[in-house]
Amino acid sequence: MISVVIPAYNVARYLSEAIGSIQQQAYHQLEVIVVDDGSTDDTAAVARQFADVSCIEQENRGAAGARNTGIDAASGEVIAFLDADDIWLPGHLATLLKALQDDPANLFVWGAAKVVETPSSTSTEDASVSAKVMRGFLLGAGLFRREVFEHVGLFDERLRTSDDFDWFARARQLGIRSQCLPDTVLAYRKRQGSLTSNAAQMHAERLQLMRRSVERQRALKMKNSDQSKAAE
């Protein structure tokens, strides 16, 4: 079974479309968990309209905290994520699951995403689909074996916009086996008011993460050096 975690904060007008894109996948052995992260709109009510969707309500902890809550509640051995204002494209799960099954050494895989510009609209049907395709790491375009979180850890709740970037950096530094696919599997909604639209905060956090990454690399080199000396 695949557990799908949807962190949700004040996204009542987008959530139904996100859940619908999951339900339209050809693979149906799914557990869908919406984590309402202290919303002040009808996000939880929308989630509960779906009989096969679990909804967990919590005080606001940010996207990282909502994702961590979802991981803790998930019962599947494979975990996927979808931000409540994004959409899985047809074939999303079939493509990613095949790649994960074809190479048991991969602990996670991810594909590309097309950008959907929605400054004020409520659905992708009214939105402008950009020609831009994002091939960098996006959680919503990925599929993860549960065990990878035992190696890398959960998401850093101190971060408001770059917890996914931080998690991926930690996975790479640990040498976790993964694969980037050429297939476009996600519609990534770029809208005003979303956390990722706060460019200044994201830039500041990513500078902080780069410094942390350098510090981790230095610590790892020192550890390896000490081990080499001890073995002499």
pLDDT digits (tens, 9 = 90+) for 82-122: 999 999 999 999 999 999 999 999 999 999 999 998 654 44
**What integer pLDDT is reported at residue 190 of this predicted model?**
84
Which of 128-137, 149-158, 216-225 shows the lowest mean pLDDT across its residues? 216-225
Question: Rounded to an integer, what distance in angstroms lies between the CA atom of residue 57 and that of residue 196?
Answer: 22
Superfamily in which the 2-196 domain is placed by CATH: Spore Coat Polysaccharide Biosynthesis Protein SpsA; Chain A (3.90.550.10)
The dihedral built from the CA positions of residue 173, 135, 180 and 82, taken in this order, carries a sign that is positive
**What integer pLDDT is reported at residue 199 of this predicted model?**
60
The residues, any chain, with a CB within 8 Å of residue 125's CB and separated by 6 or more, are none
Phi, psi at 198, each rounded to 5°? -85, 85
- pLDDT band at residue 157, thresholds of 50, 70 and 90? very high
| Nearest in space to 81 (alpha carbons), one of 188, 207, 195 | 188
- pLDDT band at residue 128, thresholds of 50, 70 and 90? very low
**What integer pLDDT is reported at residue 204 of this predicted model?**
62
Question: Rounded to an integer, what distance in angstroms lies between the CA atom of residue 24 and that of residue 127?
Answer: 20
**What integer pLDDT is reported at residue 121 of this predicted model?**
45
pLDDT digits (tens, 9 = 90+) for 165-203: 999 999 999 999 999 999 999 999 986 655 554 566 555
Average of pLDDT values for 29-44? 97
How big is the CA angle at 159 (ends 158 and 163), to the nearest 5 degrees?
Answer: 125
- pLDDT band at residue 127, thresholds of 50, 70 and 90? very low
Identify the residue whose tokens are 């190696």.
Answer: 151
Q: Between residues 132 and 223, which one has the greater pLDDT?
A: 132
pLDDT digits (tens, 9 = 90+) for 20-31: 999 999 999 999
**What integer pLDDT is reported at residue 135 of this predicted model?**
87
**What integer pLDDT is reported at residue 120 of this predicted model?**
47
